[in-house]
Structure formats: structure tokens, C-alpha cells
Amino acid sequence: MTPDLRQKTELSRTACPVNSHNEWDPLEEVIVGRLEGATIASDHIAVTAAIPGKSARWLAKITAGWKYPSFLLSEALHELEGFVELLGTLGVTVRRPEPADFSIRFKTPHWTSKGLANACPRDSLLVIGDEIIEAPMAWRCRYFETHSFRPLLKEYFHRGARWSAAPKPELRDELYDPDYRPPADSGPVRYVINEFEPVFDAADFVRCGTDLFVTRSNVTNRSGIEWLRRHLGEPYRIHEIESLARHPMHIDTTILPLAPGRLLVNPEYVDVKRLPAMLKSWDILIAPEPDPVKGNIQRFVSMSSRWLSVNVLSIDQKRVIVEKNQPSMIRLLERHGFEPIPCSFASYAPFGGSFHCATLDIRRRGERQCYF
């Protein structure tokens, strides 16, 4: 054994640096995304299908592949710095991916694309216990997104974490419905992807110990869910939550478990009466209407819905980081005995999300449990 490999093997004998089983145990280490090098998403049909606002969809087509303008970038960077600083003062170790230039065009045998960003690690990486799984993402512009996280993934691997990747999808034209049109305000939801091959975004799953919840979406198909189900095996169970969102993408503006027995629910995306029976005994916190953010032009170019108010990050079972401009959400959490920690983050919306999206739990203090 070489000295280098011996040193790495020694490291893996110490406690695993990756350990996170749910969304609420005390947070010790987290990856926070970056904005440098971010490039506006491509105008591929899978991208426009997932953008909620008509005007944002229209704008996205024109600006696809551009670098983000500095007025959007500088404010978001400023808020991101504040968020990172806050996590530090709360005693959380913050790790960051490498800066990368996502405007570089790449190609596969079937298509070419520019990249997007590494602003939202929650989308591309799923942590289940001591395992980090790279997701088989459906957006072509996200094909190599995990690469800027690889230095961290390799470090965690050498220190004892398990590291795997779902089968790399081909993302050929056959995966997408060329006749896809945004669905009407009511009636059945239509998805832009089919079952050509397994795809999912990690952010379509939330974790409650041995039970995971998932929403099918414009980036997660049934085969992707089934792949993860078989990959995790016993004792894990994956339960589907029916989403009423018109442009479904990512569960973390739909439901978010805040503590054992306590679930935050977006009433526009979920019919509470149709939640899985196992959640019937849980306290359901119905998210209030999101408060409009005054003077926030970012909402016109947001890649996300107005329900980013639900996209909070739990520091532990009591303390929750919540967007400062969402007083109704802050009051709801207070009424239910939580300690909300307000932080400005509305400018992050054009980059894909809020606190939950912008982070990836690496270590939360606690063991795997069955809560149902």
C-alpha cells in the first residue's frame, strides 16, 4: 500500500463525515452552492416546462445561455455571503464547491449544451445516511453539474463516506414530449418527460429516516423513483406525494418535514386530504400565502415559483432559517413553537431556489430512525 493510500485508509477509519438521515437533526456540516460562473438555463423544452411564470418562460427563451447580468448577480452574491456567515455563527461548518465556468459548451454523441450553475447542490446530490448519490438529472444543461463538487465528494469518500451515481442518462430526444404545452390552471398535470430511462433530481425527495417522500415531476419520472427504491433497498421505503403544481419540479416547495411529527405543506400544491395515510397523525402546518417582496424585480426572472417561502432550512428541531421578507411564514412557525431565524435571500430566486435548494446537508447529529 502506498503511503498516500495508507493515509486515506487511516482517515476512513475515523467517524464518517457524512451522516444525515432527515431534514431536522442538528446540522453540523453543509455544502452551500456558488453563483460565480452561473449561466442562464438553456431554452430546451425540459427547462421551459419547469419554469412557472409566463413572463419568466418568455424571458428565459431570449436570454438562454447568457451570463447572468451583474445587477442580479451582485445582490444575490451579497445575500449568499450573509447566509454563509449566519450558518457560521450558528456553529455549522460550511463547505463550497469549486468555482466553474458554466458557459462552456459541451457535447455528447446526441446533443450539445452549455451548463447552468452549482447554485443548488440539493438538486444534484442526495445524502442518505453515509451515502452521497449523484442524481441522473433530466436537464441537459445540468449534465456535468456534479463535477464542481467532485473535490468535496472525493474528500468525503476518502474519509469513509459511500459515494455512488445513478446510471448516467442519455437524455436523447426520445425522453421528452415534443408536443408538451404548459397545462391549464386545473385538470391533470402533464409532464414533459416520459419513461425512456430513469431520471430524477435529488430535490424531488425529502427524508424522514427510513421513509422518503417524493413527487413525480418534470425532472423525476417513475423509473427514476424505482431506481432509487431498488438502490436503497431495505429498510427504506419511498412514498409518492401527489403534486397539484402546474409545473412540478422539486418537492421542497411542496412539503418539508420540520421535526418528527411536523410537516410544512403548501396548500396550493397538495390536497392535504390526499396525503399518505401514514402522515395523518402528523401536525400539518399549512403554509400561508407567500408575502410579496417589495421592489424585488428578481421575481420576473425567477426560475422558481412564489412558494420559495416554504423552502426553509432547519438547523435543528426548533430553529429554522426563513426568508426575511416572509412575515406570514415567520408568524406561522412562531405560533407552532419554532424559532425562526430570518435571513435575506429573495435575490437567489433567479438562480433556482432558496435556503433548502442552496444547501446540501452533509452531517446532522443523529441516527437513522423509523418515524412511522
Which residues sit at the interface with ligand ABU, rule CB under 6 A? 52, 203, 249-250, 253, 304-305, 307, 352-353, 357
User: Minimal distance in Å, beta carbon 214 to ligand ABU?
Assistant: 14
Contact 230, 32 (CB under 8 A): no
Question: What is the spatial distance between Cα 204 and Cα 251, in angstroms, rounded to a whole number?
Answer: 5
Question: What is the spatial distance between Cα 13 and Cα 5, in angstroms, rounded to a whole number?
Answer: 13
User: Minimal distance in Å, beta carbon 2 to ligand ABU?
Assistant: 43
Nearer to ligand ABU, 223 or 243 (CB): 243
- Please, which residues have CB within 8 angstroms of residue 338's CB and are 6 or more apart in sequence? 258, 318, 319, 320
Question: What is the spatial distance between Cα 174 and Cα 168, in angstroms, rounded to a whole number?
Answer: 15
Question: What is the spatial distance between Cα 50 and Cα 140, in angstroms, rounded to a whole number?
Answer: 13
Angle of CA points 149, 151, 155, to nearest 5°? 115
Which strands form 125-128's sheet, in the order they lie side by side? 125-128, 131-134, 162-165
Supply the residues annotated as catalytic: 201, 250, 357
Nearer to ligand ABU, 19 or 354 (CB): 354
User: Minimal distance in Å, beta carbon 307 to ligand ABU?
Assistant: 5
Question: What is the spatial distance between Cα 196 and Cα 173, in angstroms, rounded to a whole number?
Answer: 10
179 closest CA partner among 84, 49, 369 = 49
**Residue type (1 letter), 254:** T
Nearer to ligand ABU, 161 or 258 (CB): 258
Nearer to ligand ABU, 27 or 120 (CB): 120
User: Minimal distance in Å, beta carbon 116 to ligand ABU?
Assistant: 12
Nearer to ligand ABU, 104 or 286 (CB): 286
Contact 175, 194 (CB under 8 A): yes
106 closest CA partner among 142, 73, 62 = 142
User: Minimal distance in Å, beta carbon 302 to ligand ABU?
Assistant: 8
